[in-house]
Structure 1
Amino acid sequence: MTDQVTHEDLTEAQRAYIEELAAVMTASGMPRMASRVYAAILVHERGSMTSAEVAATLQVSAAAVSTAVQWLTQVSMITRRTVPGSRRESYVVDSESLIRLVTHDTNALTAWVSGFARGRDVVEPGGAAADRLAELEEFFSFLIGEMDGIMARWQERQAQAGQEPQSSPSRSARKR
């Protein structure tokens, strides 16, 4: 058997699940094709696929995969790795990527806090707009403060379960 993955290599249940998970991710604001590509790689036993394998699995064009992969790598949901002995690249799902994305990428949240604070400088003091902006600033500041605690509790939970604390790359990615 070859390492090349095809649409037929997946069970009907796996193909349905890829579409189901992609729909959930798309409903959360992620681009549809990026959602499908991420779900396909996540479901694949190796946790990595080439562009051709993703295209065959999802029955889409290479161009669609390329655009999706570009977005996924930009937001650090997947990483690119060179296929040994080849000029091709494999796209890898690091099982910790979403955890890192949610808990560590507070740059956007920090920018929002600054934006809400700046907005309070231009609206009527004590007015309804100022109150909304202040509440959002307070919430996002609180959220940023909680992220470190969430990650510490997650690592403690993993340690209690006998798993090594996660950092990049994940255990499953190191096995590849």
Structure 2
Amino acid sequence: MTDTSHTVAPDESRHFVERLSLVLSDMGFPPMPARVWAALMTSETPSSTPGDLGSRLGVSPAAISGAVRYLQQVGLIERVAVPGSRRQHYCVSVDMWADAFVTKQSSLYQVSAVADEGIRVLGEGTTAGDRMEDLRDFFDFMAAEMPRMLADWRSQRKDRTPGR
């Protein structure tokens, strides 16, 4: 059950959004999509309009538009219909984050395949070939373990309201 008695000061909320987006950016996430995603994740409303996001982040509609487009393409947000509203609304959930990892699993195998080719090109037993072998083995391991890790995460996760 969600605790509705807790209120967050607007300055604290803005600071947290910037901190979360900075961590995501440090992981390689583009900065503006990271800020928009963090704003959606920290919102108490089920969905937000681009105008809501622009106001909350203090950025232009163009910046929001590009970020929303990126986030939709990578599957981290979705557009939702809101009865009575003609504006576009977007929502996010932690499940979308997990689903995005699953869809990226094929990329892990692609890196593995290219590393395997690198072993043949650079020579097995060479320093560079050994690096490629380590790279291949790591990505093979991650690709094989990801479905199990996600299943374990979902099974231990607390029951939550969809869209949260």
State the TM-score, normalizing by the size of structure 2.
0.87
In the alignment of these two chains, the number of paired residues is 157
| Aligned partner of residue 91 in structure 1, secondary structure | strand
Equivalent position of 1:77 in the other structure: 76
Matches within 5 A, 1:83-98: 83-98=82-97
Equivalent position of 1:24 in the other structure: 23
State the TM-score, normalizing by the size of structure 1.
0.81
Task: State how far apart, in whole Å, the 2-side matches of 1:15 and 1:94 are.
Answer: 19
Task: State how far apart, in whole Å, the 1-side matches of 2:63 and 2:103 are.
Answer: 29
CA contact (8 A) 1:116 1:137 kept: yes
Equivalent position of 1:172 in the other structure: 162
Q: Aligned letter for 2:155?
A: E
Deviates more, 1:120-129 or 1:133-142: 120-129
| Aligned partner of residue 162 in structure 2, secondary structure | helix
Show CA shifts across 1:135-156 (max 9, x none).
1101110111111221221133
Once the two structures are TM-superposed, the CA of residue 172 in structure 1 deviates from its matched residue by: 3.2
Identity %: 32
Deviates more, 1:132-141 or 1:102-111: 102-111
Task: State how far apart, in whole Å, the 1-side matches of 2:117 and 2:135 are.
Answer: 12
Task: State how far apart, in whole Å, the 2-side matches of 1:102 and 1:34 are.
Answer: 17
Equivalent position of 2:131 in the other structure: 132
Equivalent position of 1:56 in the other structure: 55
Unpaired runs of at least 5, structure 2: 1-7
Show CA shifts across 1:68-113 (max 9, x none).
1111111111111233334321111122111222345301111111
Unpaired runs of at least 5, structure 1: 1-8, 164-169
Q: Aligned letter for 2:109?
A: T
